[in-house]
Amino acid sequence: MNFTADWISYNSTNAFSALAIDYLHEHTPLQPFYKNSPSLEGIGRAIEERKTFNTNRKNVVAALKTQYQALEVCEKVSFNIEKLADANTFTVCTAHQPNLFTGYLYFVYKIVHAIKLADELNAAYPQYYFVPVYYMGSEDNDLEELNHIYLNGDKLTWETNQTGAVGRMHTKGLDSFIHRISGELSVLEHGQQLVELLKSCYCQSSSVQEGTLKFVNSLFENYGLLVLIADNTALKKEMTGVFEDDLFRHTPATIVTQTAELLTKKYHAQVNPRAINLFYMKDGMRERIIKNGEQFEINNTDIVFSATEISHELNTHPERFSPNVVLRGLFQEIILPNVAFIGGGSEIAYWLELKEMFAHYKVPYPVLLQRNSFLITEQKMSRLMEKLQLTAEDIFKDEALLLNNIVKARSSLQLTLEKETEQLAAFYNHIRLLTNQVDITLTQHVNALETKAEKALKNLEKKMLRAEKNKYAVQSAQLHKLKSGLFPNNTLQERVENILPYYARYGQSFIDMIYQHSPTFDKKFGVLREA
């Protein structure tokens, strides 16, 4: 397996928001919304700030040891868990819900970015130690986001009627799902090994979060990645003060709303905080907590608490309270000694709304880095690009435009009427001079004639190009195959495709290749081409 990387600007992809692009370039309007720049120097400042915060390291170490006790933990993972107890150890974190079999490719890219950054920081700051962490958002209840993968263009869905936090869901039915995909995977070099790995991870686990822990650990344990399931009573207990403030005083909503109002003067808001930013989880349900008068109601249920009762419930059963997107990041940064967070464009967008809330609770705000993005062009697609003489930037352009460019470049005929259009303009300028001498009111009539003639020339040019394009049916078919293959559902490959077919084909070396080509601070989109 031999992949090389072409690096293009994120702007060239036309696939990222204005906010994401501006953050990558550290544009001035966004600077008030984050603490330290996404750079090595910025992380250095974040380390100094983090050193003054009293992280409950024993708590997170204990939680991780409990999580991993049923696994055969490799030496590097075990070492990294123990190192978290050290005051000079810090984390580099990324987060995502436990999508089925990792879900989309960008799930993998986020994790590899965190690993690569931790390694680079270990080299740059040898007096400290850095551990990569995948924070599993297992309390999310968006099953439709979790329950499917795309494989060879087909959307395959795990059918289940379960509700509540996705991580707590049992894995019943995943054995038949794995059987459905095993035929396509097993024919590839590493496919049978992968199928057996999926079975051992998911079918021998009691919950989705346990299966995800095992699978992600299998993929990344050699890099020392730690997977943290924050759905943990002891970890939640550290948040009871913030949760009470949210329930009774609505402080997070007030602060974040003010910040969002400032941010939305130029950008689209990613987060709209509620008065209460907590869910209640119990018996397979996860529903919003709503304050109604002096009472606290659990949405879509008959459960009602008084102020005294909900305070008692929170302090007795903190595991039953789940933060939404407004509080999740704060929870993460309280329980982990974190200095950098790696997320996608939409994640960066909502984190920018949270800075002042962090300041209010005196919690260090991490350096935000936008995750790496890649387009995988395997050998067949790479050779097709070469045959069509397309660059890495070209393939992000509109298909019709690309075909026009191919035809114009290869045809020996004149297919544009630019020179003739210029001559037409000169002709009508001459006519205007003549008519103005007779009657200046004739100018309008001349202009109308010119517009009509220009339109006729443009239509003729289109017909000439269309006629010539008919001679390029092969190139047209090749181009369509390339575009549809690299951009499934007309969007970025990383937002649709799953790692399974790549791992089945290349094995662990695929992840190693992504690691090799993953930058840490460079702000370019990678097109990875197989030789």
The answer to whether the beta carbons of residues 259 and 356 sit under 8 Å apart is yes
* Euclidean distance between CA atoms 393 and 403, whole angstroms: 15
Evaluate whether 133 touches 114 at the Cβ level (below 8 Å): yes
Q: 451-460: per-residue pLDDT in tens?
A: 888 887 777 6
Banded model confidence at residue 465, pLDDT cuts 50, 70, 90: low
Q: For 77-86, which contacts have Cβ atoms below 8 Å and span 24 or more sequence positions?
A: 77/217, 77/221, 77/224, 77/225, 77/226, 79/224, 80/131, 80/224, 80/226, 81/226, 83/129, 83/131, 84/57, 84/60, 84/131, 84/226, 84/337, 85/57, 85/58, 85/61, 86/57, 86/129
Indicate if the pLDDT at residue 413 is higher than 50.
no
| Distance of alpha carbon 411 from alpha carbon 434, whole angstroms | 40
β-strands 285-292, 3-8: how paired? unpaired
DSSP-assigned states of every residue in 378-422: -HHHHHHHHHTT--TTGGGS-HHHHHHHHHHHH-SS----HHHHH
Question: Which pLDDT value is given to residue 468?
Answer: 59
Q: Using DSSP, state whether 154 is helix, strand or coil.
A: strand
Characterize the bridge pairing of strands 129-136 and 226-229: parallel
CA distance 131 to 91: 5
- 55-73 pLDDT tens trace: 999 999 999 999 999 899 9
- The amino acid present at 263, given as its one-letter code, is L
What is the value of pTM for the model shown?
Answer: 0.89
Q: Pinpoint the alpha helices (H) of 35-103.
A: 40-51, 57-68, 75-83
Q: Tell me, what's the pLDDT at 358? A: 98
DSSP letter for 364, please: P
Lateral strand order in the sheet of 321-323: 304-306, 295-298, 285-292, 278-282, 321-323
Domain boundaries, the chain: 8-237+326-369+495-515, 389-490
The mean pLDDT value for 467-483 works out to: 79
Distances 66 to 117, 232, 336, 350, 354 between C-alpha atoms, Å: 27, 10, 16, 31, 31
Helices 443-469 and 418-438, axial angle in degrees (round to 10): 170
Task: Compute the average pLDDT of residues 99-113.
Answer: 97
Lowest mean pLDDT among 85-89, 293-297, 474-478: 474-478
Q: What is the pLDDT of residues 261-282, one digit of tens each?
A: 999 999 987 888 999 999 999 9
Q: Taking CA 182 as the corner, what is the angle to CA 177 and CA 188, rounded to the nearest 5 degrees?
A: 150
Write out the two tokens for 519: 């930058």
C-alpha dihedral sign at 124, 129, 132, 135: negative
Q: Tell me phi and psi for residue 510, to 5 degrees.
A: -65, -45
Confidence of residue 471 (pLDDT cuts 50, 70, 90): low
CA 36, chain centre distance (Å): 21
Name the token pair of 94: 């990324």
DSSP 221: G
Q: Tell me the percentage of the chain whose pLDDT exceeds 90.
A: 82
Task: Express each pLDDT in 512-528 by its tens digit.
Answer: 999 999 999 999 999 99
Least confident of 105-109, 181-185, 267-271, 524-528: 267-271
Question: For all residues of the chain together, what is the average pLDDT?
Answer: 93
User: CB of 498 within 8 A of CB of 101?
Assistant: yes
The DSSP line for 8-48 is E-GGGGT-S-HHHHHHHTT-GGGGGG-SS-SSHHHHHHHHH
C-beta pairs of 389-392 under 8 Å, 24+ apart in sequence: 390/482, 391/6, 392/6, 392/7, 392/8, 392/527, 392/529
| Distinct helix (H) and strand (E) counts, the chain | 23, 15
